[in-house]
Structure 1
Amino acid sequence: MLWIFRIVLFLLIIYLFYRCFKFIVNPKRKLELAQEQKKFYFFDDQDNVRKNFFITYKGVLFEGEKYLGTTEDSFEVVSIFVWTNNVSSLKGLSLKDFYYIEGEIRERYPKAKIDWKSPIKELLNNNDNETS
């Protein structure tokens, strides 16, 4: 009877270590931690086009929706819409920050056209009109 108890206890300890490890390496947790620390983090499953990606930058959480299309020689992500659900968190971000985020998206999806949703879209369009 004592051996059975020891085996069960040993298995329980192994299971707890496994759960702790899974918690530590969970990408969603890393995303939340990066948002709290106001760091950059890109959370994406590039193999699954149907899953949206998430970016945290300077404490702001952005979400991007990918659309598959055809290019000259293959099927690729050709369009991406990016937005944030909390518009008030954009306070303090500049054009340079949005261009940095676009650059990070382009590294992963070079053939995609990136569209921002309002109010970021207006900020970028106003800047494009002023430089023209």
Structure 2
Amino acid sequence: MIIILFRILIFVAIALLVYTWIQYYRNPERKLRIAKAEGNFYLLDEPTNSKKNLLFVYRGCLFEGEKYVGTTENSFEVVDIQITVRDPLELRGLTRDDLYFLENEMLIRYPYAKIEWKHPINKLLITSIE
């Protein structure tokens, strides 16, 4: 009887390890850290949850966007996104074209949104995309 109980306990422990490994592998924040280390673009967002901020990385720089819901002609949509950078020193090497690329990526996902860049990013932008 003790041997059977021990085998069941080993099976449960293995199943718990596999479950933990799968949860770690599928974690979106881990994918965000990997994209930051590799210098790729990755967007972490819940489009259906307007209260949760969006996080994205581009060229090793981590940005955070606050979404605000407002009205359009027919429905309630995200109408304003204010983007800040977590560490301003990471902005080194980013060009105006990179910021336009990021704006276009946000407008693809939120077509009614007005993108507002916070300090120090707004000092680089001269013209806005409308």
Category of TM-score, reference length = shorter chain: over 0.9
- The number of residue pairs the alignment matches comes to 127
TM-score (norm 2): 0.95
* Aligned equivalent of 1:110: 111
Does residue 46 of structure 2 align to residue 45 of structure 1? yes
Equivalent AA in structure 2 for residue 49 of structure 1: S
Distance in 1 (CA, whole Å) between partners of 2:67 and 2:46 is 11
* Aligned equivalent of 1:74: 75
* Aligned equivalent of 1:128: 127
* Aligned equivalent of 1:92: 93
Identity of aligned residues (%): 45
* Aligned equivalent of 2:23: 22
Distance in 2 (CA, whole Å) between partners of 1:99 and 1:78 is 18
Distance in 1 (CA, whole Å) between partners of 2:86 and 2:41 is 17
**Deviation per CA, 1:53-94, whole angstroms, max 9, x where unpaired?**
001000000000000011000000000000102111101000
Q: Please state how far the C-alpha of 1:128 moved relative to its aligned partner.
A: 2.3
Distance in 2 (CA, whole Å) between partners of 1:31 and 1:88 is 19
Structure 1: segments with no counterpart, 5+ residues: none
CA-based RMSD of the aligned residues comes to 1.1
Equivalent AA in structure 2 for residue 11 of structure 1: V
Equivalent AA in structure 1 for residue 49 of structure 2: N
